[in-house]
Structure 1
């Protein structure tokens, strides 16, 4: 799932750091206005979105690929130029994991009218063509909304420019799901479960979370360490032994090679106390994962690698025996007390951001504790208390300020000045009707006339409010059921959370490489992309490649290494034209490497007896030629990968394990062809290479030609001609994966 905010300031393009893992969202968070509080307005009316106000007039971008549901393009403002009523509503369908489809909607309201483009230096030609003409007569005060008619937009397409409402420049921005869409996705998570139970499934992404029960024992050092504080050659810094009085919630994540850990103690009432004032950094932890996995989990470093990264094995076919899965984690178990605990213990429950834990502030507000009564006004105790609490924080009234405007300022000042309240509201996922649905308007808003209501004693004001509301509402053009409650999210919290996912949908992967690349073989690119997409997603998750920067470098390199995912066996211009034209070198070699076309066998004699590659036997050149996305090459590298996967005992490191007999005489894993024939292994070898060698570290240098060349020197130091193409393809991939507009 690729998603970004509706504004893309340059400040957000900074490289992430440990304490600032998402600079773009941090920058856009600053645009949230003091007015337009989510999820409630000052008068207890539902407010389904937030108001965003960037520093200057700015473009509004689509947050993800989507289908246009409805829109309104205005020629001019209303209310003597004070308000803009243009909007775009999009529907997004994407993926967040193997078999996990998420459907949601995004709304962009108060877009600049066409008549004001010139004075704000806005260029309508930057928008899709359908947004360049008003949706009704130019003279109309509020032109009609129209249905989207199946129109599509891409992420980062310009939907308009920042407009205003009642003289206040801002974008009203919403994200919601339908009841069916909400249930289809979130019933598989821990949302709403106050006592979450870990799943054995593999729906895992983002940060990891470990719930450690009270009374757990922490050790000064892992069991088995020697006098030098080393375990299998890996050194551990001593901590303090002891036991935690309260349950602990441990959060871990990675950024630029380091591991960061936050720890909270959890009281009986669910309140948390942070034990780590700053995230605890373990420098180079991620860069050292391969080294530690091969040392600590010799029988299957691949499984051990996942244990060290996730705290559990996500692969479908784990190899490690149960007693070999001990995983030591350094945890702050009390104030200034740090010790080691085996997080593989079944009593320690393991989760990720995919679970939407209540312990991390996610609260499903529905059914018995719905925040809205039958009139559609907020009635939940916690939110009413919030409004009452705001009263002592009264702010001075401004001369000529309307009463309702003053109440707005009181509530806004309270929420903006209370970080804890603001954070709580961000975690609310609320079930309520849309304010853009005109169904039962009179019944829903009647209480606004009651004593204490915004329009008490002001029947004309109330009538004008309903008239205006009816003019701007547009639900009849959406095709969505009327009178139905929806599920609303704080939109910036939603985007920040799902940006951690990194799972590429079919549509998103199709944009990485131009379809024209595939015409050389006369096949559609989809055939190749869909063959490898599940493996790409699994590999990105396993090796931490799914960031914008690392993912861009990955695709930039395999564009050359495997010719846009089409050539997963090494070929060469030295191979005859006849062989190339028949594509024999890139078809599955069903008869094995020993029956390869003569031209191929002849070419790979260049690899014979290459000591650097570990080729020691006759025929090793063609037998261990490059295969997979990265072109794994040589007996030595094949053996290292086989050891990593647990297929070859590390004691057989003389590399004689691969039989010289045809693969039909032995198990399938004896056959180096597995790297070319098995889609997962084909991609996993590339991830293995990235973690085995310092590719990740070089890629973390950012999106620059220098960083691309550094990665290229590691991936293929002998290819001096392709670095410019690798850099070009890295930039092309970043246009899709990155936030730069």
Structure 2
């Protein structure tokens, strides 16, 4: 899923994603979610803007989708003004609703649908049934009760709630591990009472520590593991005994510098000690368990420990996160100890919140009475605001005309909550304004009026951690124009309208669809949800796979074209041509194939090796010797047999993709291993050029790799513009020529 906020501005300095999103979608005193200060259900978030000018702040689609409803705004003044919209200082009625059909993981439960609603627009630029892309301008921010603000909602039905969140119950089932088909974001571990913590780090392959335990837990603990730019951050939570359902952090985060960057090295060391495939061990250290169960050699229960230093009450110690009874989850499970709550306990027909769960949170003095003054004070507390924003609530839409009086009669009656009820004239004006804004029957979305609501900012923040790409999202990672001119001071895209230089959407689907599942699994395992990493990685893959072309015959998709026939233009081919099944990112040399075979514990070959270059005799045999790497770089001749047939790397779709991720995270250079070290830096042509060199020496397809990266950075990250025929000039380091990058999408 690719998702971004409805208003976009450039992040400042080293601003974190969370802080950037908070600036764009701040919690406001007005328009609280999921309840207003009058304790009425409120299905969305009000987002203010302060830009001057008649056009206002552009409101953008948060994700790809289809416009299900679009209402042009009515004028607030002038001859054709709607007087009902002028009530309460004026509100614009421009509205757009988008249905988003996307993916957050593999299999049926990874295919999800939800709706985004944009209200109070003073301009609307789209129309019903129009397909839109993330960042497409839908309209502009208008007025909401006299303020420059829009109202936004994110909603779904029951079936998609279960897919999005992974459950229908309020709390996670702690008797079993979390989802396996949908995994993203931070990893989480449930530690039951009785878990043992040690003061000193145990031996890496030891199932238990040595000496007397430093601590034995008496209450359940919840460990979270977050990777961020190579570092690993460990935090611990426990339930607050004084506030039901609240979980508090214990101590400060424990940060292990470069832990993620060195994960391959750690996995290999631990796996060798435990006779386990390093690839499976990598997943254990990365996800807390093996998740690619169809393609991995599973780790037997208790066969490998996962020792981590964490906080416990009043101290720190080492705990085995792979011990029996410890359960593993990810952000895809919406853990309740991280604040996520499913609330559907208000069965009353009116719009007043009568949820016992929420009311208990808001009852600050415990008297089970809720005055306006008390609510204003409580709703102003950051802790309560955060808790409410993490609540996923089921209640009726506020945009249905037919039920207005049923839902709002209560605001005409005096109560502890409503000390000054609306008089008949005020109530009539309220109903007039609300009626003018309603759209539910006209929109006809196909879901019931009583549905699930998410806080928009929290929903967007959460799913930005998910790097799984739907078919459309994956297809659009391929640019329309594939090649750039070979000479000149400025290189430009070759826009000749033929299948060599220009790509259609249908052709792009054909090229990439067979490998999409396995490419997503590769991204999830080695890159995570970071869209800049994914952009830079996929740019290299596009070039390495010859733009995912499969011409058949001697030009197979995942093989060196010509099956490694000697090429006088590249004399080094005499040393590695037998190893031609390269996958999505070249392994090339026998040494890399050997390392990948050991990483995955690919079984030894028991038959003749496949030779696809005819009519020559097989180049790999039981007696053949091959250079591990280029002899000019210190490569030596080694007997390959009885190792696996390297042809499998090009023929097995999972291995084709996984081997590319392996190469990426195992590549050594002057600063250590793992190309993510460079990809995590601020995007620049210089850094892309360095990655070009690490992947393929730096020269082959240099300008295309730069152009693909610029295209993908614009598509997958949060620069304001998206597609179109825009052209932007980038300047790689001298002596390289400038490049005019063409951002046209396939169509």
TM-score, length-scaled by structure 1:
0.79
- Cα distance in 2 for residues equivalent to 1:677 and 1:412: 64
Relative to structure 1, is the Cα distance of residues 516 and 480 closer, same or farther in structure 2, using a 3 angstrom cutoff?
same
Relative to structure 1, is the Cα distance of residues 98 and 625 closer, same or farther in structure 2, using a 3 angstrom cutoff?
same
- Cα distance in 1 for residues equivalent to 2:462 and 2:144: 29
- Cα distance in 2 for residues equivalent to 1:542 and 1:482: 35
Q: Could you tell me which of 112, 115, 130 is aligned with 2:122? A: 112
2:57 equivalent in structure 1: 58
Q: Could you tell me which of 4, 9, 21 is aligned with 1:25? A: 21
* CA positional deviation for 1:712: 1.2
2:38 equivalent in structure 1: 43
- Cα distance in 2 for residues equivalent to 1:168 and 1:196: 49
1:423 equivalent in structure 2: 386
1:678 equivalent in structure 2: 652
Q: Does 1:280 align with 2:259?
A: no
Relative to structure 1, is the Cα distance of residues 545 and 186 closer, same or farther in structure 2, using a 3 angstrom cutoff?
closer
1:350-361 mapped onto 2 (5 Å cutoff): 350-361=328-339
1:224 equivalent in structure 2: 203
- Cα distance in 2 for residues equivalent to 1:658 and 1:177: 56
1:8-19 mapped onto 2 (5 Å cutoff): 8-11=8-11
1:558 equivalent in structure 2: 541
Relative to structure 1, is the Cα distance of residues 413 and 565 closer, same or farther in structure 2, using a 3 angstrom cutoff?
farther
Contact 1:239 1:339 in 2 (8 A): no
* CA positional deviation for 1:450: 1.4
Q: In the TM superposition, what whole-angstrom CA distance separates every residue of 1:218-262 from its partner, at most 9, and x where no partner exists? A: 12334436xxxxx79xxx999983222322110111111000111
1:73 equivalent in structure 2: 72
SS at match of 1:44: coil
Contact 2:581 2:648 in 1 (8 A): no
Q: Could you tell me which of 712, 724, 730 is aligned with 1:733? A: 712
Contact 1:297 1:324 in 2 (8 A): no
Q: Does 1:101 align with 2:111?
A: yes
1:573 equivalent in structure 2: none
Q: Could you tell me which of 517, 523, 535 is aligned with 1:540? A: 523
Q: Could you tell me which of 548, 566, 584 is aligned with 2:554? A: 584
* CA positional deviation for 1:445: 1.2
Q: Does 1:628 align with 2:623?
A: no
Relative to structure 1, is the Cα distance of residues 71 and 207 closer, same or farther in structure 2, using a 3 angstrom cutoff?
same
Q: Could you tell me which of 658, 662, 680 is aligned with 1:700? A: 680
SS at match of 2:102: strand
> Which 5+ residue runs of structure 2 have no aligned equivalent?
77-84, 483-497, 605-618, 625-639, 668-673, 721-747
- Cα distance in 2 for residues equivalent to 1:519 and 1:237: 65
2:633 equivalent in structure 1: none
Which region of structure 1 is more displaced relative to structure 2, 372-381 or 182-191? Answer: 182-191
Contact 1:36 1:51 in 2 (8 A): yes
1:378 equivalent in structure 2: 353
Q: Does 1:319 align with 2:297?
A: yes
- Cα distance in 1 for residues equivalent to 2:258 and 2:712: 26
1:576 equivalent in structure 2: none
TM-score, length-scaled by structure 2:
0.78
Which region of structure 1 is more displaced relative to structure 2, 453-462 or 697-706? Answer: 453-462
SS at match of 2:182: coil
- Cα distance in 2 for residues equivalent to 1:607 and 1:291: 29
Contact 2:189 2:327 in 1 (8 A): yes
SS at match of 1:731: helix
1:620-659 mapped onto 2 (5 Å cutoff): 621-625=576-580, 627-647=582-602, 659=621
Which region of structure 1 is more displaced relative to structure 2, 262-271 or 341-350? Answer: 262-271
Q: Does 1:89 align with 2:97?
A: yes
SS at match of 2:571: helix
Contact 2:597 2:644 in 1 (8 A): no
1:118 equivalent in structure 2: none
Which region of structure 1 is more displaced relative to structure 2, 632-641 or 237-246? Answer: 237-246
1:123-272 mapped onto 2 (5 Å cutoff): 127-128=125-126, 130=127, 148=128, 150-183=129-162, 185-186=164-165, 188=167, 191-193=170-172, 195=174, 197-199=176-178, 201-224=180-203, 241-266=214-239, 270-272=245-247
Q: Could you tell me which of 529, 532, 551 is aligned with 1:549? A: 532
Q: Does 1:496 align with 2:470?
A: no
Contact 2:156 2:453 in 1 (8 A): yes
- Cα distance in 2 for residues equivalent to 1:241 and 1:640: 40
Contact 1:190 1:355 in 2 (8 A): no
- Cα distance in 2 for residues equivalent to 1:239 and 1:737: 51
2:452 equivalent in structure 1: 487
- Cα distance in 2 for residues equivalent to 1:607 and 1:564: 24
Contact 1:84 1:113 in 2 (8 A): no
Contact 1:50 1:173 in 2 (8 A): yes
* CA positional deviation for 1:520: 2.6
Relative to structure 1, is the Cα distance of residues 325 and 200 closer, same or farther in structure 2, using a 3 angstrom cutoff?
farther
- Cα distance in 2 for residues equivalent to 1:721 and 1:669: 30
Q: In the TM superposition, what whole-angstrom CA distance separates every residue of 1:664-716 from its partner, at most 9, and x where no partner exists? A: xx999822111111111111111101110231101111221122112112112
Q: Does 1:529 align with 2:512?
A: yes
Contact 1:37 1:412 in 2 (8 A): no
* CA positional deviation for 1:375: 2.1
2:412 equivalent in structure 1: 449
Which region of structure 1 is more displaced relative to structure 2, 87-96 or 50-59? Answer: 50-59
2:490 equivalent in structure 1: none
- Cα distance in 1 for residues equivalent to 2:169 and 2:661: 30
1:476 equivalent in structure 2: 441
1:305 equivalent in structure 2: 282
Higher helix share: 1
Q: In the TM superposition, what whole-angstrom CA distance separates every residue of 1:377-416 from its partner, at most 9, and x where no partner exists? A: 2112343456664999xxxxxxxxxxxxx95x97455423
Q: In the TM superposition, what whole-angstrom CA distance separates every residue of 1:608-630 from its partner, at most 9, and x where no partner exists? A: 674xxxxxxxxxx3221361111
> Which 5+ residue runs of structure 1 have no aligned equivalent?
115-126, 131-147, 226-230, 393-405, 568-580, 611-620, 650-656
1:296 equivalent in structure 2: 270
* CA positional deviation for 1:198: 1.6
- Cα distance in 2 for residues equivalent to 1:669 and 1:441: 73
- Cα distance in 2 for residues equivalent to 1:340 and 1:634: 40
Q: Does 1:606 align with 2:571?
A: yes
Relative to structure 1, is the Cα distance of residues 172 and 495 closer, same or farther in structure 2, using a 3 angstrom cutoff?
same
Q: Does 1:464 align with 2:442?
A: no
Contact 1:218 1:243 in 2 (8 A): yes
Contact 1:712 1:723 in 2 (8 A): yes
Relative to structure 1, is the Cα distance of residues 241 and 647 closer, same or farther in structure 2, using a 3 angstrom cutoff?
farther
* CA positional deviation for 1:462: 1.1
* CA positional deviation for 1:587: 5.6
Q: In the TM superposition, what whole-angstrom CA distance separates every residue of 1:340-390 from its partner, at most 9, and x where no partner exists? A: 222111311111111112111111111xx22x5222321123434566649
SS at match of 2:517: helix
- Cα distance in 2 for residues equivalent to 1:536 and 1:599: 24
- Cα distance in 2 for residues equivalent to 1:447 and 1:200: 43
- Cα distance in 2 for residues equivalent to 1:217 and 1:683: 39
Q: Could you tell me which of 390, 393, 398 is aligned with 1:435? A: 398
* CA positional deviation for 1:197: 2.9
Relative to structure 1, is the Cα distance of residues 391 and 160 closer, same or farther in structure 2, using a 3 angstrom cutoff?
farther
Q: In the TM superposition, what whole-angstrom CA distance separates every residue of 1:564-622 from its partner, at most 9, and x where no partner exists? A: 2226xxxxxxxxxxxxx875232678xxx9xx969935669934674xxxxxxxxxx32
- Cα distance in 1 for residues equivalent to 2:405 and 2:359: 22
Contact 1:264 1:276 in 2 (8 A): no
1:511 equivalent in structure 2: 476
Relative to structure 1, is the Cα distance of residues 184 and 201 closer, same or farther in structure 2, using a 3 angstrom cutoff?
closer
* CA positional deviation for 1:43: 2.6
Contact 1:476 1:482 in 2 (8 A): no
1:360-371 mapped onto 2 (5 Å cutoff): 360-366=338-344, 369-370=345-346
Q: Does 1:34 align with 2:29?
A: yes
